[in-house]
Chain A
Amino acid sequence: MTVEQPAIEIVQLTKTYGQKTAVRELSLRFEAGRIHCLLGPNGAGKTTTIKTIMGLKNPTSGDVRINGVSIRSDGIHEARRGIGYLPEEPLLYDHLTGREFLQFVSEIYGVSGRRNGIEGRLAEFEMQTAGDEPIRTYSLGMKKKIAFLATLISDPPILIYDEPTSALDALSARKVKEVLSDYRSRGRLVLFTTHILEIAERLADRIAIMDHGALRFSGSLEELRNEMHESGEASLEDLFVQLVADGKGQSE
């Protein structure tokens, strides 16, 4: 039996900022065809981990491999072309309209014309008219929607989202969840972080919990229940709070 190569593999990753260690010897595997969720309290190292995958941070030690390509190798930019990335605070160009931003991204990725599906996506998220308004007039939620749609333009095999549903209204958040589920069913990898544990519970196939830069748990919700010796009724929120509180007790 052969072990399938993960779409993203994090190997003994450590990232320090001066004296502070943001991520400590983290090892994780994210497989295609699944939705993975990275959880943790504020300052746990989730965003640093994602930024390291995306090349916005360099590891102090350890490695990240995208489809087997190390982030230290020359071919990493080509590997990252296959990732749609939504940062926690996306930076859109204020003087462009939402539609222009999407068309600009589609040109940069060489996906022109109807293949980019911009009009369909704008309609899906009820942004057809707002798509002609300058981004500087958008609310935070509208900016997040446009940035989210931009990640789908090149139809990438890997989607990485940092807090994808924050600032979104309920309808849009549901739409985002539907899109992510659809991507999973098409064999794509979705990796996201969130503080809304209900979304993680409903959507994620695999959960990784980080605290103070270290991995506390990785596996399915069922495996987490077993590890915490809890019944099938325990919610992710209960388990998460218990796990993080235990960690605090240990560290103190």
Chain B
Amino acid sequence: MGSGGAQRWYMFQPPLSFLHAVSTGEWSLAVLSMTVLSLLTVVSVWLLARWYRVAHREIILDGGSVQTPLYSSAFAPGRRRVPFAPGSVSGAFWVKDVLLPIRRSAAGYAQQLAFTLSGSIVTVVFLHFWEESRTTGSGVTCFVLVLATLAVPLLFSAHGCLPVLGMEGVNIALLRPALGVRRLFIAKSSAQALFVLGHAAVLATLIGIGARWTGLAHPGILVALGLALAATVGFSAMGLALGFGLPDFHRRSMMLPGASKAAQFIHMAGGGMVAVTWSLLATAFTLGHITILTLAVGVIMPLALVMTLSVAFGFWSLRQLERLEI
């Protein structure tokens, strides 16, 4: 440890960083900390006020105070659907399954992001203390950091891909005849895979930057990004195959509506094993025990296995989907 950045772990705790900045006369840091603190306060007050206004009135069924929002149609002709072509079926699912749930339930999405981000920050801060308490460098730090990086595509693919079919419930009677099973699979899959990829890339980069800034052992941002990309491809393929092969059309849970327990278990167990394997390899690479070529081969081989199994299971799922009953 010992870099200038490493001493600033308190940056992750706005009240502490404010106190430290004031005591040392670092005024730009003090302003930044106050800004973060103010934002957090505003969000907390807003959440509390919302709860206070609504909670007790709902008990007596007084809905009058809640104004129903009006939205202009996201499917109106001419509306753009970047990155998909206007009017494409994949674009329609992109809007329905990805964009609108985020836009219309911004608080839920913010919670999900806050959970992931704070989890990553806590990991980095914890590892910083861990490293500081030791006299020699540890591979554990690198292992945990890479594992945290790979956990992001694993969790987001569970959230986005496992419910991909089951969430449609009885609407499968609408979608299956209209699109056919292959077109339905491609349209839904492309939208969800893009959602997972975007989040995995951004968060892998942030963890890499955080690790470098605090001077922690890390394989580097490019290697982390490569691992995140491979994990996104592998975990998404696994999630989509399981989502189509083992859906649960009746399960309406908040986070995973339509994902069956079996699919969740296989995805987490399989994905977890791959993530641990890759984290160990990345650690060995960071400590100089293996070359980048060995690391690449070690990543590609499990990925190829996962992809082969996912494609085989995916084809079986699509055959089943022709006759799948609810």
Interface of A, secondary structure class, is mixed
B323's nearest neighbour on chain A, judged by CB, is A58
Q: Does B140 contact A (CB under 8 A)?
A: no
Question: CB-CB < 8 A to B179: which residues of A?
Answer: 108
Are A132 and B72 touching (Cβ within 8 A)? yes
Are A87 and B173 touching (Cβ within 8 A)? yes
Are A90 and B89 touching (Cβ within 8 A)? no
Question: CB-CB < 8 A to A132: which residues of B?
Answer: 70-73
Are A105 and B174 touching (Cβ within 8 A)? yes
Query: Which of B73, B96, B173, B178 interacts with A109 by CB under 8 Å?
Result: B178
Query: Which of A55, A58, A113 interacts with B176 by CB under 8 Å?
Result: A55
Among the stretches B74-82, B142-150, B271-279, B285-293, the one at the interface with A is B74-82
In the assembled complex, the Cα of A51 lies from the Cα of B249 at a distance in Å of 14
Are B170 and A77 touching (Cβ within 8 A)? no
Are B92 and A107 touching (Cβ within 8 A)? yes
In the assembled complex, the Cα of A95 lies from the Cα of B77 at a distance in Å of 19
Are A85 and B173 touching (Cβ within 8 A)? yes
Q: Does A81 contact B (CB under 8 A)?
A: yes
Q: Chain B's nearest CB lies how many Å from the CB of A62? A: 15
Question: CB-CB < 8 A to A150: which residues of B?
Answer: 174
In the assembled complex, the Cα of A150 lies from the Cα of B173 at a distance in Å of 13
In the assembled complex, the Cα of A227 lies from the Cα of B181 at a distance in Å of 46
Are B100 and A96 touching (Cβ within 8 A)? yes
Are A87 and B176 touching (Cβ within 8 A)? no
B96's nearest neighbour on chain A, judged by CB, is A104
Q: Chain A's nearest CB lies how many Å from the CB of B180? A: 6
Q: Does A10 contact B (CB under 8 A)?
A: no
Q: Does B105 contact A (CB under 8 A)?
A: yes
Q: Does B240 contact A (CB under 8 A)?
A: no
Q: Contact string, B91-109, partner A, CB cutoff 8 A, digits 1/0?
A: 0100110001100110000
Q: Contact string, A37-59, partner B, CB cutoff 8 A, digits 1/0?
A: 00000000000000100111110
Are A108 and B175 touching (Cβ within 8 A)? yes
Q: Does A188 contact B (CB under 8 A)?
A: no
In the assembled complex, the Cα of A105 lies from the Cα of B179 at a distance in Å of 11
Are B89 and A107 touching (Cβ within 8 A)? yes
Q: Does A100 contact B (CB under 8 A)?
A: yes
In the assembled complex, the Cα of A97 lies from the Cα of B323 at a distance in Å of 31
A15's nearest neighbour on chain B, judged by CB, is B325
In the assembled complex, the Cα of A30 lies from the Cα of B89 at a distance in Å of 33
Q: Does A137 contact B (CB under 8 A)?
A: yes
In the assembled complex, the Cα of A30 lies from the Cα of B41 at a distance in Å of 65
Question: CB-CB < 8 A to B104: which residues of A?
Answer: 95, 134
Are B69 and A134 touching (Cβ within 8 A)? yes
Q: Does A133 contact B (CB under 8 A)?
A: yes
Are B92 and A133 touching (Cβ within 8 A)? no
Query: Which of A57, A81, A93, A103 interacts with B76 by CB under 8 Å?
Result: A103
Q: Does B302 contact A (CB under 8 A)?
A: no
Question: CB-CB < 8 A to A133: which residues of B?
Answer: 68-71
Q: Does B39 contact A (CB under 8 A)?
A: no
Tell whether A57 pairs with B92 under 8 Å between CB atoms, given A81-B178, A112-B77: no
In the assembled complex, the Cα of A181 lies from the Cα of B320 at a distance in Å of 38
Tell whether A90 pairs with B178 under 8 Å between CB atoms, given A57-B325, A113-B77: no
In the assembled complex, the Cα of A87 lies from the Cα of B92 at a distance in Å of 23
Q: Which residues of A contact B (CB under 8 A)?
A: 51, 54-58, 77-81, 83, 85, 87, 89-91, 93, 95-97, 99-100, 103-105, 107-109, 112-113, 129, 132-134, 137, 150
Which 8 pairs between the two chains have the least Cβ-Cβ distance? A103-B75, A80-B177, A91-B169, A95-B104, A132-B70, A81-B177, A54-B173, A56-B326
Q: Given contacts A54-B173, A133-B69, list 14 more A-B pairs with CB under 8 A.
A: A77-B176, A89-B170, A91-B171, A96-B74, A97-B71, A99-B73, A103-B75, A107-B87, A109-B178, A132-B72, A133-B68, A134-B69, A134-B71, A134-B104
